[in-house]
Amino acid sequence: MKTMQGPALFLAQFISDKAPFNNWNDITKWAAGLGYAGVQVPTNVPSILDLDLAVDSPAYRDEFLGIARQNGVAVTELSCHLQGQLVAVHPAYDAAFDAFAPAAVHGNPKARQAWAEDQVAKTIRASAALGLSAMATFSGALAWPYLYPWPQRAPGLVETAFDTLATRWRPLLDLAETHGVDICYEIHPGEDLHDGVTFEMFLDRVGQHNRANMLYDPSHYLLQQLDYLQNIDIYHQRIRMFHVKDAEFNPTGRQGVYGGFQSWVDRAGRFRSLGDGQVDFRSIFSKLAQYDFEGWAVVEWECALKHPEDGAREGAAFVRDHIIRVTPHAFDDFAAGAVNQQAINKALGL
């Protein structure tokens, strides 16, 4: 059995233009000061990680890792969530998602897609060069606007969307195989891969690719009213990353899963800081220990109410208290004796 690593912190929600959140040295020092042992790093903020240099410059990589190590944290994984989102964008979202890409490709979906695919490829190469074995991303979405079938979807629409999604991702998965890096899709509403069934639809189309894996985040499952514990039983062999994020779902006579177009604070389902929501983390950590998950427990702070710095501070202690240091032996080993085949045969009447 293996003990998972942690606590770690996903930096994406904390990066800003204000100290200590505006440069690599200060933000890693801040995270370590809260008790984190690792940080997960987004690849879309050059002041934190210059992705091109991470691919091309051994000296830059040595400095990047050295600063983190000196400040007391490991780099756990890289994330290209926003770039992965742009691998597949339905036209209804073109204007909104242009904000995730450089101005040079705004208004040009094909150029934006090519840029996004190049960014994902660079994240794969940078991950391998930094000695990392997994990276996080979103799948993107072509079928999401047709989630609720009214009016009825055109026959073949969903199949074509997933065929196209697989065609776009297959070369990147093959590149990941070459570099020994797992692509971990965060299973997330808004993405075509938003639950177990859609993940399996994708797997079927990429030939059960060894590098197509999951980033497990129970908050997204609770808000869908999906059994997030059974999900681990089903997919534990594909779960290679873990976001520790809490949520709550309190439906009323006025709204439920869809939220009635309300702001996060007024929705029936909303994200909360660790320990303030309804996710059963004791059972989750037990399940992951049972299945020998050896990756990092990474806090992702998203809360409709609490200040992010308070959530980050509390999150480190929360994860540290929930990680199960697995036992090296069975509890009843003290009663075991040496193997005696003659005695065994006699006990069985053989």
Q: Give yes or no for residue 61 having a pLDDT over 90.
A: yes
Closest to 299 in 3D by CA, of 87, 6, 34: 6
Strand pairing report for 296-299 and 5-10: parallel
Of 272, 197, 259, nearest to 227 by C-alpha is 197
Mean pLDDT calculated for residue range 28-43: 98
Confidence of residue 335 (pLDDT cuts 50, 70, 90): low
Is the model's pLDDT at 331 over the cut of 90?
no
Q: Is the pLDDT score of 17 beyond 80?
A: yes
Q: What are phi and psi of 141, to 5 degrees?
A: -150, 125
Helix (H) or strand (E) holding 211: none
Say how many Å lie between the first and final Cα of the chain, rounded. 34
Give the separation between CA 161 and CA 87, rounded to whole angstroms: 13
Q: How many residues does the chain have?
A: 350
- DSSP annotation string for 157-183: HHHHHHHHHHHHHHHHHHHHHHHT-EE
- Cα(50)–Cα(349) distance, rounded to whole angstroms? 71
Whether 52 shows a pLDDT value over 80: the answer reads yes
| DSSP code of residue 89 | B
CATH of domain 5-347: 3.20.20.150
pLDDT category, 343, cuts 50, 70, 90?
Answer: confident
pLDDT over threshold 70, residue 334: no
Encode 105-116: b = buried (16+ Cβ within 10 Å), e = exposed.
beeebeebbebb
Return d(Cα 35, Cα 31) in angstroms, integer.
Answer: 7
pTM as predicted: 0.95
Neighbours of 275 (CB within 10 A): 15
Cα–Cα distance between 302 and 342 in angstroms, integer? 61
- The pLDDT assigned to 237 comes to 98
Please give the pLDDT value at position 339: 80
**240-to-27, 72, 161, 246, 295 alpha-carbon distances in Å:** 25, 24, 26, 19, 7
* Structure token digits, residue 50: 């210059």
pLDDT above 80 for 12:
yes
Query: DSSP states of 324-339 as a string?
Result: ----SS-TTGGG----
Task: Give me the chain's average pLDDT, please.
Answer: 96
